[in-house]
Amino acid sequence: MTEYQMGLFGDPPEPAPVYKPMPKKNRVDTGRTGWELVDHACRLCLGRIVVRRQRGVTVEARCCECGHHAFGDIADVCCCGADCGTAGRVLECFRNPDITPSVPQEVLVRERVVAERRGERRQAKPVGSKDF
């Protein structure tokens, strides 16, 4: 019976067994990386945009606030890509140079100076009535 019992009080404990560390597994690079913060704002809610890049090319852009996303170019989600009719793309995102408690956003949107594109003016259609 003593050969199966551990020596708790008198016998010194046996040294712990030495375990060899598991060999490191080499990860196969799939080319996908995690999300990366960029200095752009969502055109729907002005939330912060994150992008996922694959081999240096943006493959997906997503808003952290509302979840609006697009595969491909960041301009599909960002305010910079918003088309404003004949004025073109007049909005641009920029990093806030002076973050204060009153303006805590890291990325802001402003209007940039763009020459208006002149298109064909529509002809007026006179409205008439025989009674007048």
Question: pLDDT: is 122 or 67 the higher one?
Answer: 67
Q: Considering the domain boundaries, does residue 15 fall inside one?
A: no
Q: Considering the domain boundaries, does residue 22 fall inside one?
A: no
Q: Which domain holds residue 44?
A: 32-111
pTM for the whole structure: 0.57
| 52, β-bridge pairs | 35, 60
- Tens digits of residue pLDDT in 95-111: 999 989 998 888 998 88
Q: Considering the domain boundaries, does residue 4 fall inside one?
A: no
C-alpha 19/C-alpha 95 separation (Å) is 52
Domain count, the chain: 1
Q: Considering the domain boundaries, does residue 5 fall inside one?
A: no
- Tens digits of residue pLDDT in 20-78: 776 766 655 455 568 888 999 998 888 999 999 888 888 899 999 988 989 988 888 88
| 94, β-bridge pairs | 108
Paired tokens of 101: 């408690």
Q: Considering the domain boundaries, does residue 85 fall inside one?
A: yes
